[in-house]
Chains A and B, each alone.
Chain A
Amino acid sequence: MIDFSSVIIELVQILILLFAAPAFIGWIKTVKCLLQGRTYAGVFQPYRDIMKLFSKEVILAENASWIFRFTPYVVFGVTVLIGGIIPLVSIDLPLAATADVIALVMLFAIIRFFTALAGMDIGTAFGGMGSSREMTIASLAEPAMLMVVFTASLAANSTSLTHMVQVMAHGQFILRPSLAFALLAFIMVHLTETGRVPVDNPATHLELTMIHEAMILEYSGRHLALIEWAGMMKLFIYSALGIAIFCPWGIAATDDPAGMVLGGLWLACKLAAGGVILVLIETGLAKMRLFRLTEYLGGAFLLATLGMLSFFILE
């Protein structure tokens, strides 16, 4: 049954996603600067970046096809849709049943597919290089991600995210070794999928190391703004997904406003802590060579498999 209040919650959630995601990136950048002894531009710098890009003119290569112009909208649309599906502050969402965790993983694959196509559209070497690398890495990350999802779904006996959250947050608390392994693997896949440091460096435009940036190198103006904004939301969503699967306590089960405000506060605290962890990982590690990633993602896959083994043996 779809009632009015849950539609409101859905809209509120999408607004939170749209407007909190840049702040999350800003927070990460600020903490990173603090940790590395650099001056920081503040939590709100990403908003200014996006606003600037939206007001700029679009410069398009002569042979860009409609794929190139269509991709930013698809990327943005899919990201917002995913943001409407995962539980952020409340689990009572009308869209939640649209996709389970497996379908969510494949929704992220749409973003990747079209970004990679856009990278090849102009016909420069950089774009093709980025697409090729991105698709290679994704093909190694996806099995690992699926094993994580599978291990996490064993406890709740469901792949529906709402149901998993319900079992974790409102069921009996049990210490699960399988989830510890799955969490480690999830963090590794998270860093891969959102293009963070040991895998890709979001701050670089150096030809040898670029992956995601190489694909979107030719974008400008509002197209780039949409892609950048979607990228920020993707990081936000992945972190929120991790919180929902592994640490959902505090989320509102019903649609009473007080619970939701509390849920929102909890989410903000958890995201802030998650951001700090992310920064610590990024500052502590160096970017890996492309062909070392096989071992890295193989490791993530093995950890998730170990988690599953421990579920069958210990739990």
Chain B
Amino acid sequence: MTPFDLATISILLLLCTLILTPCVSRFRSFSIHLSFSITAVASLSAFIAGLLAVHRGGNTSAILQMGLPDLPFHLRLDPLAGFFLAVIGLLAFFVSVYSIDYVKGFSADRSITRFIVFFSLFIAGMFLVVLADDAFFFMVAWELMAVSSYFLVMYEDEKAENRRAAYLYIVIAHIGAIAILLSFGVMAGLANGFESFQGYTFASMRATSYPAAWATAAFFLAFFGFAAKAGVIPLHVWLPEAHPVAPSNVSALMSGVMLKTSIYGIIRVVFDFLKVFPWWWGGIVLALGLISAVLGVLYALMQHDLKRLLAYHSVENIGIILIGLGLAMLFTTFHLPVLAALALIAALYHTLNHAMFKGLLFMGAGAVLHATHERNMEEMGGLIHRMPWTAVFFLIGCVSIAALPPFNGFVSEWLTFQAFLLSPALHRPILSLLIPLGAALLALTGALAAACFVKAFGVTFLGHWRGHNPVDRVHEIGWSMRSGMFLASVTCFALGIFPTVVINWMDILAEKLTGGRIATSAGRFGWMWLTPYAHERASYSGFNVFIGILVVVFIAYILLHTRKTTIRRVPIWDCGFERLTPRMQYNATSFSMPIRRIFGFLFHIREEAQAVPPVRHPAYPERLRYRLKVSDRFWNWFYEPAGELAFFIARKIGNLQKGRIQVYLIYSFVTIIVLLVFLG
């Protein structure tokens, strides 16, 4: 069976659920088990298809006689599509397993069928986006993905917040889609003249060489469109609105893999269609990546809604991926294929890693939400005692995203650093000076991300329960949710320990797109040492780090436990004052206070402290009321003025509408005269 057959089977299976689920919707539990099993199998087969497609390195294409007359759908599975198919398939598999128990939580009060139908359509849409081989089919798949995810965000539509978030999402998604369509229009037109439609296939776009000005137009339209979907700053505002309100399994998919389809789009357009480009494109991508990474993590630090925090981290991680892409573009323009391959591998590896750990973290956040019915971290605490399994999995996610060895996030950040440090090879003094500053910003991002996840894990899972609701109701989650998170955790760990295996697998991608390969192995223990450039240059071994720590910890533990040891459990030392209360703990807001103060100029902060009038004694106020609102400056800077401008123009145009038939007749008359004069 070829990889392409597997991918086809996967999509057919997903379409099957559309028919099956409504038929069995009366048996709720059965329908949940059946449909998520089918999506799991479909995702797994797509994952295997992608794995094999990259491994074999060939292309398979097919033409589907569907769609409009004379414009058939083209499909193609090449290594690049295969890589993204594998990433999407793998996370979709984990999330499908997770969803069985998660969706049962909804089954009491709303229709499950609607959820399952859009869930399957959403996954199918993402698969088709990467498989599409013509502009027309790509846009159909892109819209399928956007619209089905819109309905999933809207799933709990009785809340005004959800409707607003979904609306914002669909508006920005469509502004982006228009830009992508225009970009394809430019490329298709240049490929085959503006008179006929035959340039719409990707094959003809790939075969054309573009004049510089038009290439620039096509690139920036495509980049704008994909950036809107990816949540690159300043187009990120929909992310922190839509991800928190969507069901958590959907957030995991949206954040983990849907954003990656736009990374796929950028790579496809830049490295596959346009191929030749000036160096400043790479510079712009790099700069936007850096801005997104730093601001994304800083905004994330200010959040106390767990899912909103994770959503801002997606902005950060998309930024890190773009940094890799930008460097790959820069190296390509300076004809350094091996370095370009290194930067591209770093970006793609981070794409894979981010899908895994962000999916895991959103699943963990979903588990917490499921158990506590709470998204606000200020109302949580001490969950490690109530939900020990979730705590372990969430911790693995935190360690991975905070880029700590030996987990996977570190490997891709390390590769990105290596790409940065090789930038003196560019032989442009100004670039050699500026690019290392980018590396410092990446280091800042990494350190702030670590701070943010100490906060997220510490406030949610450690300490005492802060909430107003009793903690007794909080319980550990079901088996399927734990299995989904377990699989994702194991993947995060394996990707950190055996990076060479994965990089050897995807090296062919770099070779096809940039012409260079990176030498990943040296010496006898080739699978153990990751040496991206040369053996003397740098090396890293996640396996050794893990084994080293394990051995020392083991020896220390054994030595300290040779004789009988005692541990006495006592109440917390309260310094001799009154009894401590859980409200006295550090919480999410106080944890990030020093960072808020240092980087305060980047936020719009409104802070007020008010003493409630004293009752007993003027010097001792009864209580202090403290309000803090930290908001995104981009909303005030870009979106509100843009919205007002749109309304202003609409009002001006609205003046045309007088409501009198005579006026409308004059409009028609003038139009006909004008047309006759100019076209006659």
Residues of chain A at the chain B interface (Cβ within 8 Å):
1, 54, 57-63, 65-67, 73-74, 76-78, 80-81, 84, 95, 97-100, 102-103, 106-107, 109-110, 112-113, 116-117, 119-125, 127-129, 131-133, 135-136, 138-147, 150, 153-154, 157-160, 163, 218, 222, 226, 290-291, 294, 301, 305, 308-309, 312
Contact = CB atoms under 8 A, between A and B. Distances in A.
20 contacts: A58-B568, A62-B570, A76-B556, A77-B553, A95-B544, A99-B545, A100-B538, A106-B410, A113-B402, A113-B450, A113-B453, A121-B463, A125-B586, A131-B586, A135-B447, A142-B447, A147-B440, A158-B537, A222-B565, A291-B597
B549 interface: yes
B581 to A, nearest CB: 10
B381 interface: yes
B591 A131 contact: yes
Contacts, number: 249
Given A65-B384, A123-B582, A106 B414 contact: yes
A248 to B, nearest CB: 16
Interface string B558-574: 00100001111111110
Contact of A109 (B381, B404, B548): B404
Interface string B370-392: 00000000000110110000010
Given A136-B594, A146-B443, 10 more contacts: A61-B573, A81-B549, A110-B404, A112-B450, A117-B457, A123-B585, A124-B572, A124-B584, A139-B444, A226-B556
Contact of B540 (A100, A109, A128, A150): A100
B76 interface: no
A123 B464 contact: yes
Contacts of A127: 586
Nearest to B411: A103
Given A77-B549, A81-B545, A97-B529, A106 B567 contact: no
Interface string B439-462: 111011011101101110111001
B443 A143 contact: yes
Contacts of B160: none
Contact of B570 (A54, A59, A135): A59
B602 to A, nearest CB: 14
A138 B585 contact: no
Given A63-B464, A77-B552, A143 B441 contact: yes
Nearest to A120: B458
Contact of B598 (A67, A123, A136, A150): A136
B579 interface: no
A106 B415 CA distance: 13
Given A106-B410, A107-B405, A99 B568 contact: no
Nearest to A305: B437
Given A62-B570, A135-B454, A290-B594, A80 B552 contact: yes
Interface stretch (B24-32, B428-436, B621-629): B428-436
A146 B571 CA distance: 42
A60 B569 contact: yes
In order of increasing CB-CB distance, the 8 nearest A-B pairs are: A128-B586, A123-B463, A120-B458, A135-B451, A139-B447, A142-B447, A77-B552, A146-B443
Dominant secondary structure at the A interface: helix
Interface residues of B, number: 85
Given A95-B544, A97-B539, A132-B586, A146 B439 contact: yes
B107 interface: no
B392 to A, nearest CB: 9
A57 B566 contact: yes
A132 B424 contact: no
A140 B444 CA distance: 7
A116 B446 contact: no
B595 interface: yes
Nearest to A76: B556
Nearest to A149: B421
Nearest to B410: A106
B381 A123 contact: yes
A150 B585 contact: no
Contact of A301 (B424, B440, B446, B463): B440
Contacts of B489: none
B538 A160 contact: yes
Given A73-B556, A123-B462, A103 B567 contact: no
Contacts of B458: 116-117, 119-121, 128, 131
Given A128-B590, A139-B444, A147 B436 contact: yes
A209 to B, nearest CB: 14
Interface string B588-610: 00111111011000000000000
A159 B440 contact: no
Contact of A98 (B453, B540, B584): B540
Contact of A136 (B537, B585, B595): B595
B390 to A, nearest CB: 13
A57 B564 CA distance: 11
Contacts of A109: 402-404, 446-447, 450
A234 to B, nearest CB: 14
A80 B553 CA distance: 10
Contacts of A57: 566-568
A125 B405 CA distance: 29
A20 to B, nearest CB: 17
B541 interface: yes
B539 A160 contact: yes
B540 A154 contact: no
A102 B417 contact: yes
A290 B433 CA distance: 31
A125 B524 contact: no
B673 interface: no
A123 B572 contact: yes
Given A60-B567, A65-B384, A106 B403 contact: yes
B86 to A, nearest CB: 27
